[in-house]
Amino acid sequence: MSKALPEIVREAAERLKGVISPTPLIHSSSLSRLFGFECLLKLENLQKTGSFKARGAYFKISSLSEREISAGVIAASSGNHAQGVAWAAALLGVRSLIVMPETTPIVKFVATKGYGGEVVILGRNFMESFAYARDLSTQRGMALIHPFDDYSIIAGQGTIGLEIMEAAPDADAIVVPVGGGGLISGIASVVKEKSPGIRVIGAEAAASNSCIESIKRGEPSEVEERPTIADGIAVKRPGEKTFKIIRELVDEVHDVGEDSIAWAIVQLLERKKLVVEGAGAVGVAAAIEGKLPKSVKKAVFVLSGGNIDVTTLDRIIRLGLIREGRILRLAALIPDEPGALARLTADIAALKANILHVIHEREAVSAPINTIRLEIVLETEGHGHSEKIRSELKGKGYGITE
């Protein structure tokens, strides 16, 4: 790298003018009250293609020579990087081939094709898809666009840091999702150059905590693949270049649980009307788990993307509501007689709970003779309300169990 990284980031910012719009940085009163410090949200979920990835992809492809892109560009990804590369290549009039793993959700496959990319499904996971892409790159002479371990990619993502510093120079912490490390590396490079006192904090899913494990071992290291709703940052191993920058410039990295990620998504949807994918919500999840320094007074959370399919969002909303105690699941025994179910539903209505679902089991083996077992799902106001409902129904003799 002949130039210093912050210099390349500034070059990227100039290149992206008129192509990428700076995303909003908004204040969240609800999160500020919840966490006890001022919270600002950097809305990369509103970026072109629905994530920050468009920045790095455009800068990288636009930096290639005509000879390098004469046969087109190729990338491996199951989501945001794929869409970013397909979009940027189409905008620049370059052919793109995207290798996606077999586990890629249909919605992301369709979206990538919609941006103009040619898509092939090869590999059981990202690592296998990347190996196929690398081989095809060599065979066909196509330029391989790495999702994170490339200085042009890192610099493109780093333009977010410039925007944050311009809009919130008095922030004392910036919380960034970590997968392969391209986003946090780029942001840290410009933030630490201008304001070394600002803490740059990484957040990753506990189910895919390759960055934390690599820091412990002192070198980029692989972790076992486990399912996570933050699939956009489920990377088995951080990059060589990104890891070096992270060790030098990032103050701390924390991992967060699936329940906290789900709750963060629900909070952002309900309180700010923002659709944020799991990977984009891990920073807020770190604050939910109380993992940010007590000294933080004003934090910026980078919401890195919003590409989440409706089915997954529905499941996550339910997980988040259960965590808040706003969905209560009960089993109840009622007499096998006319009017018994009506009395139970009336009692539930009197307690101001909303019945979402009822399963009526007349032949349940576990139920005594002359009784009916019910499984009930209720919408409540929270943990306190749920406990009151459980207690009141038990007091009325309904034989309530979890």
Give tens-digit pLDDT for 159-211. 999 999 999 999 999 999 999 999 999 999 999 999 999 999 999 999 999 99
The yes-or-no verdict on residue 223 having pLDDT over 90 is yes
pTM of the model: 0.89
Q: How far apart are CA 15 and CA 13, in angstroms?
A: 5
With cut-offs at 50, 70 and 90, classify the pLDDT of residue 363: low
Answer with the residue of higher pLDDT: 241 or 332: 241
Q: Which of 28, 189, 260, 304 is catalytic?
A: 304
pLDDT (mean) for 383-396: 91
**189 contact partners, CB below 8 Å, separation of at least 6:** 5, 6, 9, 154, 158, 161, 245, 249
- Is 29 noted as a catalytic residue in this protein? no
Active-site pick, 53, 192, 241, 272: 53
Mean pLDDT of the 254-274 span:
95
* 394 included as an active-site residue: no
Condensed to tens digits (0 to 9), the pLDDT of residues 316-343 reads 888 888 888 899 999 888 888 888 889 9
Q: What's the pLDDT band for 94 if we cut at 50, 70, 90? A: very high
Average pLDDT of the chain is 93
**3-class state of residue 228 by DSSP:** coil
pLDDT of residue 125: 82
pLDDT tens for each residue of 193-207: 999 999 999 999 999
Which tens digits make up the pLDDT trace of 108-135? Answer: 888 999 999 999 999 988 889 999 999 9
Report the distance separating Cα 58 and Cα 157, nearest Å.
10
Domains of the chain (ranges plus CATH)?
A: 5-52+150-321 (3.40.50.1100), 53-144 (3.40.50.1100), 326-395 (3.30.70.260)
Please state, as a whole number, how many other Cβ atoms lie within 10 Å of the Cβ of residue 333: 19
Q: What is the pLDDT of residue 402?
A: 65
Q: What is the C-alpha to C-alpha distance for residues 272 and 40, in angstroms, rounded to an integer? A: 11
